[in-house]
Amino acid sequence: MSARVVVYDTREDWLRARKTGIGASEMAAVMGISPHASPYSVWADKVTDEIDDRPPTGRQYWGTRLEGLIADEFAAQMDGVQVQDPGPYTIYRDVANHMFATPDRLVEHADGTTSVLELKTAGLDRWHDWDECPPAQYLIQVQHQIAVTGAAGGYIAVLIGGNEFRVYPIPRDDAMIADIRAAASEFWEFVERREPPEIDGHNATTEALKRRYPAGDDELAVELPPTLVWATEELAELKVKQKDLDDRKAELENRIKAEMGDATIGRLGKYTWTWKETARKGSLSIPDVTDEAKAALDEAGVAYKETPATSYRVLRVKATKEVE
């Protein structure tokens, strides 16, 4: 191992330390190929003092809970290796390139070499992402870890759909590592200058802008650069086109619905249309109040709105695969 290893005492210290470099899980976003984050969203996190410690999503929660099980299965299937847990608050640093890594596990081989191991879970809806190899963002993550730790190679172990276990060996790729280092150095210059990278249409960029500028100042006005004239005019054109597309889409769907009538299935050559009923759960909207006040809404006079459960029909189409 060639990296400098730092073990932090608390999660808060660990999260704050992550702001001082680019992590392996962030590298795909920096390179513009992550479905979950964007260059701007990573940059916005680095230049703020606020710690992003939002509760995990369901997928993230269960992915973390299942890490030990997946690591145990990997160890059981691999002969002659020792699997080590670096600990939850350990960071491996490559200071020269502002890169760091927090591998899930380290794999010690009988010949004295070390590999990194990433532990993943995937739902049945994502099984196709793993057909031939792991998704690109995970390949970049592992190569980033190899670069930082000096490991000989890596592995990705994934549990798909809760019952299919796969292991992918990831050889060290020096060409990809060179690209990663170059991208990291270029990106960190934006962080040091507090200059945002190019804005894109990624959902993560949209959410980062919302968090960065949560409220407007009615007393503040700015002169926008002339370069945004084209954006304003193109946006107006796109809104018109979007309305036309929405109208056309509704017309075509209505034609199909009119022909189907009460039928829930409509066959059309290789296409099968369905128009089936689905339910929408009811909801209760309550303003932010204390638990005590919620227990006495009527007495306290707190207004709330209850939405009853409803049902509606959803139109979908599926094409039959042609037999070669």
Q: Which of 67, 72, 84 is nearest to 149 (CA)?
A: 84
The verdict on residue 109 lying in a domain is: yes
- Please name the residue that has the structure tokens 């380290």: 106
The verdict on residue 249 lying in a domain is: no
The verdict on residue 224 lying in a domain is: no
Q: How confident is the model at residue 304, as a pLDDT?
A: 55
Task: Quickly count: other Cβ atoms within 10 Å of residue 80's Cβ.
Answer: 8
The verdict on residue 129 lying in a domain is: yes
Mean pLDDT of the chain: 90
Examine the pLDDT at 96 and tell me if it is beyond 90. no
285 in the same domain as 163:
no
Q: How confident is the model at residue 95, as a pLDDT?
A: 74
Q: Which of 255, 257, 252, 249 is nearest to 313 (CA)?
A: 257
Domains identified in the chain, total number: 2
Distance of alpha carbon 257 from the chain centroid: 36
- Please name the residue that has the structure tokens 């949209």: 206
The verdict on residue 170 lying in a domain is: yes
The verdict on residue 247 lying in a domain is: no
271 in the same domain as 206:
no
Starting at the earlier edge strand, list the strands of the sheet with 114-122. Answer: 81-84, 105-109, 114-122, 153-160, 164-171
The verdict on residue 75 lying in a domain is: yes
Give Cβ neighbours of residue 76 (< 8 Å, ≥ 6 apart). Answer: none
Q: How confident is the model at residue 53, as a pLDDT?
A: 79
166 in the same domain as 271:
no
**Cβ contact 156:142 at 8 Å:** yes
The verdict on residue 304 lying in a domain is: yes
Angle at 237 between CA 233 and CA 240, to 5 degrees: 145
Q: What is the pLDDT of residues 10-67, one digit of tens each?
A: 999 999 999 999 999 999 999 999 999 999 999 999 999 988 878 888 888 999 999 9
Structural domain for 313, as ranges:
262-324
Q: How confident is the model at residue 125, as a pLDDT?
A: 86
Examine the pLDDT at 86 and tell me if it is beyond 70. yes
Q: What is the pLDDT of residues 281-307, one digit of tens each?
A: 655 554 454 556 556 656 656 555 556
Q: Name the residue with higher pLDDT: 256 or 296.
A: 256
Q: How confident is the model at residue 307, as a pLDDT?
A: 62
Q: What is the CATH number of the domain that holds 141?
A: 3.90.320.10
Q: Find the DSSP H helices in the chain.
A: 11-17, 24-30, 39-46, 58-65, 67-77, 136-149, 174-193, 203-212, 229-260, 291-294, 297-300
267 in the same domain as 145:
no
**Cβ contact 151:114 at 8 Å:** yes
